[in-house]
Structure 1
Amino acid sequence: MKNKKILALLIAIAVAAAGGYAAYRFGLQQGMKTMPADTGTTAASADATGKKPLYWHDPMVPGQKFDKPGKSPFMDMQLVPVYAGADGDDGAVSISPRVQQNLGVRTALVTTGRLPSGVSAVGSVAYNERDVAVVQARRNGYIERLYVRAPLDPVKQGQPLAELYVPDWIAAQEDYLAARRMQGGDTTSLVDGARQRMRLAGMSDAQIRLVESSGKMHPRITISAPVGGVVGELGAREGMTVAPGTLLFRINGLSTVWVNADVPENLAARVRPGDAVEARTPALPASVFKGKVGAVLPEVNAATRTLKARIELANTGGQLVPGMFATITFASNRGAEVLLVPSEAVIQTGARSVVILAQDGGKFRPVDVEPGGEGNGMTEIRKGLAAGQKIVLSGQFLLDSEASLKGTATRMGNAQSSAPTAPLHHGEGKVERIGDGEVTISHGPIATLRWGAMTMGFKAPPAGLPRNVGVGDRVAFDIRERQDGAFEIVAMSPVADAPSGKAMDDMKLPQAPTGVRK
């Protein structure tokens, strides 16, 4: 009787233990099924507007991506969220206005206009050779007095330069005065002949009238400056004898001057006569002199490979003097109107030229463009943009890098999605081991693969194992062959009507002996 009681007690304990363990496993599974997701990660992954970022990154190191917000490990700043763009907007990135301000993103509009020549050159000021007057002696004589004694002396128009004594004038003037004093008969022809001899002697009409009005000889002549300027060459000295044709003075005018600018040979085609120019000189930093190209000389300097552009400038007040250094900017606006963008907006990669296009909603997209000419900080755009579009001037290198990374990921994803998928194979079995990205399952036959029952390892699902699957559970699974020949689990779920847990599979409840009486 005592043995029967002990046996009954053992059976009750075993049944209670088995029931308790089964209830524990069932409750654990149900709890895992109903357990809410990690709300902390979900809350952190969405911003105040409810948009979910694709990832976070440091704008200074755009190639490194993070799945959670936080502080950058590279710099003392918060990670920046990158949001998903619109469907079909591959390569575009979206950045909040606050981050744009932190990055210093500046934008400008695509405009139309005529492209300036954009040619700059240096040169030096020289005399205008078309504004030169030469003073020569017309008759033999002597210089009795000199009013201008040194080269580069400034002179004004009509200013006396020298006083010249002409002996040949004495005889001509005496003949004229003697013919006028003659009486009787017709002396008109004699007077006219004497007047003509004075004119042939080199006397001007004003000098002849002076002799007529005064009735005296005037053998001296005062030479005056025909134009204003500076004495470029002085060939007269007091007391010297001069002959007809002797150069006495060379006067260079200063009302206009030339600037001989050295234009590089490869830019000479952009400079044409008549083009407007602006000249600046270090001697007068606050002044800008305007003029035009008078001529492009048809000669190339073999040493410097430059051409001379002769520029004519108005020299009000005589501020510009020969020898001054000058910087010339050619401001030609020839040709038809074209699309223009600031040159700093164009990213030159060598293989292509890129402009970052700013779109609505804080989106930025790189656009391949075909640039044309360049001048005065503006670049012509032949293809890729339209007038009125908004482009990025600063920070475009970071945006282009990020857009390139996103575009590459998108293209890779599209390539993977377009690749042919392998067929799925279904099986059922028991989980023996989980670890190192692999799941070992003792499964039954798989008819589609003509496999018998065996124990083998499979690659874990890309999304990870379900939370309610553990070692010892019986599961139903789908597998697919990868390109490397290994098999990967695509989906897995526990078999609901199977006993749960390894302990239940291994535990055998003892049978009550027959013939036991109550």
Structure 2
Amino acid sequence: MKARLTITATCLVLIGVAGYSGYRLGASHTMPATSATQGDRNILYWHDPMVPGQRFDKPGKSPFMDMPLVPVYADGDDAGNGVNKGGVSIDSRVAQNLGIRTAEVKSAHMGAVVEAPGNVAIDERSIRVIQARTTAFVQHVGVRATLDPVRQGQTLVTFYAPDWVAAQEEYLAVMRLPASLQNDLASAAKARMLQSGMTQGQADAVTRTGKLQSAQSIASPLDGLVTEIAVREGMTISPGMTLFHLADLAQVWVIAEVPEAQARSIAPGQTVTVSATAAPDPVQGKVDAILPDVDPATRTIKVRIVLPNKQRRLVPGMFASVRFESGDRQDVLQIPTEAVIRTGQRTLVMVDAGQRGYASTEIRTGREVDGMTEVTAGLRAGQRVVTSGQFLIDSEASLRGTSERLETPVAASAPSATSAPSAPSAP
């Protein structure tokens, strides 16, 4: 009986010792009510940079990554140097693991090269409208569909015009009179043909042949395309009625869509280079006009370019790539485009503040050329900006409760982390 009591008592003692030890072990990983100090600096807690959500009340080795715990100071600096009170400081080992890269803000010539997509269009100044000059009956139409090609001199329509026939018969009747009576009457009869709507060439044909030209025709005045047909065989046409629209393709337009932020480097008369799949080599053209038309969806401005097209290789609707090169040689501040963060309300960059400190800074931007973005305000030459890992830095700032967040306006500030809540003990 005594032996059994002795064994029971021993077990109870061992259980108590184990419980007390577990309690002490758990307490060693729980945040105390007061913060530790190191020199003149106040340490809030220690943490593993790779597991920043877990906090410890004293230094030691991380139970997660087999690396020393890093102190976090009340001024927000992991490195212990007192910098970057408005941003976040990240240990160099963590920065390396996060893949953080930086680039220097440089002042250099940007080249003012703008590349934009475009589409080939008809030069509207080359469009010719063919109209009826008299009442007539259409006998034959030489073109059947829009966008059919036509050659200069090709017959577009053949018709019978009663008024023209009457004017010709009058002239031919005069020409049959004795020569002594033809002087004034012949001139008046020829003028009558022109007044009826006949062209000079048609009237000359009657004079030259001395025969009635009952069937008249209209020929194409140019090489190009038929863009509109409003006449068919058997129709009756009247003076002023539009029959055809023709377009000359010896010169075309290219309508380029340029981002509005880059349009300021483009001016009328500027030489541009246009590349298209249909053209074996790039073609030089000139900016004709910057149209007062901004696409609200893409925020692009239309730029009209005049382009020679002697071989007629370019046709309306073709895609083209346009390259604008400005003669501007002024140096500008520029950073890699990948460093720019656009939140929708602001344009930001993460600045390397030195001594492992980072802070977000609002900037204003200009042109974008070959992967570089012009900075018009917010930075100075020689500073370094983060080009990779910006959002990981922002996440680190969120975990530590620092005031500078990407989505927080500059004027606003969140409360700084002055104390840390208790965290579960490390396993």
Choose which of 345, 348, 355 in structure 1 pairs with 2:350: 355
Distance in 2 (alpha carbons) for counterparts of 1:237 and 1:353: 64
In the TM superposition, what whole-angstrom CA distance separates every residue of 1:453-490 from its partner, at most 9, and x where no partner exists? xxxxxxxxxxxxxxxxxxxxxxxxxxxxxxxxxxxxxx
User: 1:424 is matched with which residue?
Assistant: none
Distance in 2 (alpha carbons) for counterparts of 1:295 and 1:258: 12
CA change 1:231–1:58 in 2 (3 A) is same
> Greater relative contact order (Cα 8 A, min sep 6): structure 1 or 2?
2
Shift of 1:151: 3.9
In the TM superposition, what whole-angstrom CA distance separates every residue of 1:61-86 from its partner, at most 9, and x where no partner exists? 3875884567744xxx8679899969
Distance in 1 (alpha carbons) for counterparts of 2:135 and 2:347: 78
CA change 1:90–1:56 in 2 (3 A) is same
CA change 1:406–1:235 in 2 (3 A) is closer
Amino acid at match of 1:339: L
Distance in 1 (alpha carbons) for counterparts of 2:131 and 2:124: 18
User: 1:455 is matched with which residue?
Assistant: none
> Normalized against structure 2, the TM-score is what?
0.54
User: 1:35 is matched with which residue?
Assistant: none
Shift of 1:230: 4.2
CA change 1:248–1:407 in 2 (3 A) is closer
In the TM superposition, what whole-angstrom CA distance separates every residue of 1:422-467 from its partner, at most 9, and x where no partner exists? xxxxxxxxxxxxxxxxxxxxxxxxxxxxxxxxxxxxxxxxxxxxxx
Choose which of 319, 333, 340 in structure 2 pairs with 1:339: 333
User: 2:384 is matched with which residue?
Assistant: 390
Choose which of 135, 153, 160 in structure 1 pairs with 2:155: 160
Amino acid at match of 1:365: G
User: 1:201 is matched with which residue?
Assistant: 196
- Whether 1:141 aligns to 2:136 is yes
Distance in 1 (alpha carbons) for counterparts of 2:374 and 2:178: 90
- Whether 1:214 aligns to 2:209 is yes
Choose which of 88, 105, 108 in structure 2 pairs with 1:110: 105
Indicate if the aligned counterparts of 1:273 and 1:292 stay in contact, CA closer than 8 A.
no
Distance in 2 (alpha carbons) for counterparts of 1:241 and 1:134: 18
User: 2:364 is matched with which residue?
Assistant: 372
Q: Output aligned runs, 1:169-318, within 5 Å.
A: 169-180=164-175, 182-185=177-180, 187-251=182-246, 256=252, 294-296=290-292, 311-312=303-304, 317-318=313-314
Sequence identity (%): 30
Structure 2 unaligned runs (5+)? 1-45, 72-76, 404-417, 419-427
Amino acid at match of 1:142: F
User: 2:43 is matched with which residue?
Assistant: none
CA change 1:288–1:184 in 2 (3 A) is closer
Shift of 1:210: 2.4
* 3-state SS of paired residue (1:239): coil
Indicate if the aligned counterparts of 1:370 and 1:381 stay in contact, CA closer than 8 A.
no
Distance in 2 (alpha carbons) for counterparts of 1:351 and 1:208: 73
Indicate if the aligned counterparts of 1:134 and 1:247 stay in contact, CA closer than 8 A.
yes
CA RMSD of aligned residues (A): 5.9
Shift of 1:369: 3.0
Distance in 1 (alpha carbons) for counterparts of 2:244 and 2:261: 38
Distance in 1 (alpha carbons) for counterparts of 2:247 and 2:180: 53
User: 2:21 is matched with which residue?
Assistant: none
Shift of 1:380: 3.0
In the TM superposition, what whole-angstrom CA distance separates every residue of 1:210-234 from its partner, at most 9, and x where no partner exists? 2333332323222123345544432
Choose which of 52, 59, 63 in structure 2 pairs with 1:61: 52
Indicate if the aligned counterparts of 1:231 and 1:250 stay in contact, CA closer than 8 A.
yes
Shift of 1:145: 1.5
Aligned length: 334
* 3-state SS of paired residue (2:143): coil
Distance in 2 (alpha carbons) for counterparts of 1:319 and 1:165: 35
CA change 1:215–1:271 in 2 (3 A) is same
CA change 1:406–1:184 in 2 (3 A) is closer
Indicate if the aligned counterparts of 1:142 and 1:239 stay in contact, CA closer than 8 A.
yes
CA change 1:69–1:156 in 2 (3 A) is farther
Which deviates more, 103-112 or 398-407? 398-407
In the TM superposition, what whole-angstrom CA distance separates every residue of 1:232-284 from its partner, at most 9, and x where no partner exists? 43222223332222222233566546869899xxx799799968999999x99
Q: Output aligned runs, 1:462-477, within 5 Å.
A: none
Distance in 2 (alpha carbons) for counterparts of 1:223 and 1:166: 12
In the TM superposition, what whole-angstrom CA distance separates every residue of 1:386-419 from its partner, at most 9, and x where no partner exists? 22433221124555677996999xxxxxx9xxxx
Indicate if the aligned counterparts of 1:119 and 1:270 stay in contact, CA closer than 8 A.
no
Amino acid at match of 1:394: S
Structure 1 unaligned runs (5+)? 1-54, 409-414, 416-518
Distance in 2 (alpha carbons) for counterparts of 1:329 and 1:64: 57
Distance in 2 (alpha carbons) for counterparts of 1:294 and 1:270: 9
Distance in 1 (alpha carbons) for counterparts of 2:70 and 2:139: 95
* 3-state SS of paired residue (1:222): strand
Structure having the higher Rg: 1
Distance in 1 (alpha carbons) for counterparts of 2:365 and 2:246: 45
* 3-state SS of paired residue (1:196): helix
